């Protein structure tokens, strides 16, 4: 029996450290499940050889119990944008299809030190651009609940792997909504920490870019907290570290006194497909049952100003990273059109345009801080549309409203991403179409641990991730 594959990551880790479960047993069962389930979704790519992985598991089992770290022997597949020493790192681009990483990314090194065993990568869109995990190197990742639909992105492979029970814990990264959207579309949790809680990678530019961050995905807030204990450690080599937080969850379901503000579709500024708002609002009713007070909140800021501020700052950051490829005509031709659009836009920005974008960001941060004087948590859907056909590049319309950029349909993510607030995507169940959805709860900067406590209380009465994809419930 392999029921331990569906345990929480915390339960697996406890059993691995105590010796009640061997790393070899867990690894063998994990590889068998990947063999049985991954073909339907293409979530895990560049899977390492079984002999190598079993040898690492044997080494983990040989370690004395008093030297076993928090993630000792736990199989983890790292998002295919990160470096794992000695393995391939393609970022989904044919330009890097043969690249071998020479060292670990900083967060990967922390996971390794905590005892994780890296089994491969989780699929992404090329360079992580767009919330649909497809690329010319690894192909498309499909939704476990509907194989003709996308699993989202850019952490789509991670979300699908969790939903399929192929891993119990996953990393992701989030610039626009790449931890939150695929979590909602795969019926799991995705947590974007306050910017600076997980330090930015040392080396290169570390002062300006304050948009993207690393974070965890899991089937419960408790497992999110487990990974945060590993990831959230200050790094003196980079600026803007946030103070340490206590990630322990109290294990209670009491939300008495919590004030939740429901932003809906931002008073119509963010078109949303039918059924999504009702499903998300229904999930907030569960919080009301636990003692929270949920009230509608009027749109607090100009949605267009937020979107274009974010779009300019994102393009500027991406152009700095991708310009060396863009400036070589031969390599530019091998970049996806969306990447070329981002770089061209970023390179064309004037200093006055960047200043204006920064001024809007600053004004929104002040406005949000004032808003959190009257509510503790704000809520928005994690997406404005249901998981769309996997054959599409991206949705060009929502309810007849044309999307003027490849990421406009993810505008609902911008209020959080622009100013680095903590946010967690919590599952809200399934629409009449059978597709999963999520709602994002977000709080003032630095309120990460409190936000996890709220999500944990909600999880204890809903447990949506335990509603496995129908065709996998007996596999």
**Identified catalytic residue from 79, 121, 336, 445:** 79
Contact in structure between 451 and 443 (CB atoms under 8 Å): yes
79 is catalytic: yes
Of 450, 437, 306, nearest in space to 377 by CA: 450
Query: Beta 44-45 vs 189-192: how paired, if at all?
Result: unpaired
397 is catalytic: no
Query: Beta 423-430 vs 401-402: how paired, if at all?
Result: unpaired
Q: Tell me if residue 455 falls in helix, strand or coil.
A: helix
Beta strands in 175-319 (DSSP E): 189-192, 213-218, 259-262, 293-296
Q: Which residues pair with 380 in a beta bridge?
A: 440
Query: Beta 293-296 vs 259-262: how paired, if at all?
Result: parallel
Question: Going by C-beta distance under 8 Å and a sequence separation of 6 or more, which residues neighbour residue 301?
Answer: 363, 364, 367, 368, 415
Instruction: Output the six-digit token pair for 434.
Output: 């059978």
Contact in structure between 179 and 173 (CB atoms under 8 Å): yes
**Identified catalytic residue from 93, 133, 154, 417:** 154
Instruction: Output the six-digit token pair for 242.
Output: 């946030």
Place of tokens 């204006």: 356
154 is catalytic: yes
Of 237, 277, 246, nearest in space to 382 by CA: 277
**Identified catalytic residue from 178, 212, 220, 309:** 178
Contact in structure between 215 and 155 (CB atoms under 8 Å): no
CA angle 437, 440, 441 (to 5 degrees): 145
Contact in structure between 152 and 184 (CB atoms under 8 Å): yes
Catalytic site residues? 79, 154, 178
């Amino acid at each position: 029996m392999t029921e331990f594959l569906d345990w929480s990551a915390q339960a697996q880790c406890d059993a691995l450290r105590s010796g009640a479960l061997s790393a070899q047993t867990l690894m063998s069962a994990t590889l068998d499940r990947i063999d049985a389930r991954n073909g339907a979704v293409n979530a895990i790519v560049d899977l390492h050889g079984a002999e190598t992985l079993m040898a690492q598991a044997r080494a983990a089992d040989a370690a004395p119990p008093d030297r076993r770290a928090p993630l000792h022997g736990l199989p983890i597949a790292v998002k295919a944008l990160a470096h794992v020493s000695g393995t391939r790192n393609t970022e989904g681009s044919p330009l890097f299809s043969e690249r071998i990483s020479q060292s670990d990314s900083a967060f990967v090194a922390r996971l390794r030190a905590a005892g994780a065993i890296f089994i491969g990568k989780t699929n992404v869109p090329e360079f992580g651009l767009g919330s649909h995990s497809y690329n010319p190197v690894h192909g498309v990742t499909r939704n476990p609940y509907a194989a003709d639909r996308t699993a989202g992105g850019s952490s789509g492979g991670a979300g699908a792997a969790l939903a399929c029970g192929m891993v119990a814990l996953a990393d992701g990264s989030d610039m626009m909504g790449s931890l939150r959207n695929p979590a909602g579309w795969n019926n799991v949790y995705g947590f974007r920490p306050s910017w600076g809680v997980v330090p930015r990678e040392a080396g290169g530019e570390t002062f300006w870019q304050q948009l993207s961050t690393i974070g965890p995905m899991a089937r419960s807030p408790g497992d999110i907290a487990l990974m945060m204990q590993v990831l959230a450690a200050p790094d003196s080599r980079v600026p803007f570290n946030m103070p340490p937080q206590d990630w322990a969850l109290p294990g209670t379901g009491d939300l008495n006194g919590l004030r939740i503000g429901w932003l809906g579709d931002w008073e119509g500024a963010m078109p949303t497909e039918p059924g999504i708002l009702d499903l998300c609002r229904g999930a907030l009713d569960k919080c009301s049952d636990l003692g929270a007070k949920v009230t509608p909140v009027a749109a607090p800021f100009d949605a267009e100003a937020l979107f274009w501020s974010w779009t300019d700052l994102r393009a500027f950051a991406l152009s700095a990273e991708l310009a060396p490829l863009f400036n070589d005509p031969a390599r530019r031709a091998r970049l996806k059109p969306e990447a070329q659009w981002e770089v061209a836009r970023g390179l064309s920005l004037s200093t006055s345009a960047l200043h204006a974008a920064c001024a809007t960001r600053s004004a929104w941060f002040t406005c949000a801080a004032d808003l959190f004087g009257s509510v503790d948590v704000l809520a928005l859907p994690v997406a404005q549309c249901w998981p769309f056909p996997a054959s599409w590049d991206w949705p060009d319309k929502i309810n007849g409203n044309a999307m003027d950029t490849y990421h406009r349909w993810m505008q609902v993510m911008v209020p959080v991403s622009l100013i680095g607030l903590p946010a967690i995507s919590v599952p809200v169940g399934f629409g009449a179409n059978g597709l999963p959805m999520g709602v994002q709860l977000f709080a003032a900067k630095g309120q990460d641990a409190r936000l996890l406590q709220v999500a944990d209380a909600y999880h204890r009465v809903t447990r949506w991730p335990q509603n496995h994809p129908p065709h996998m419930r007996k596999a």
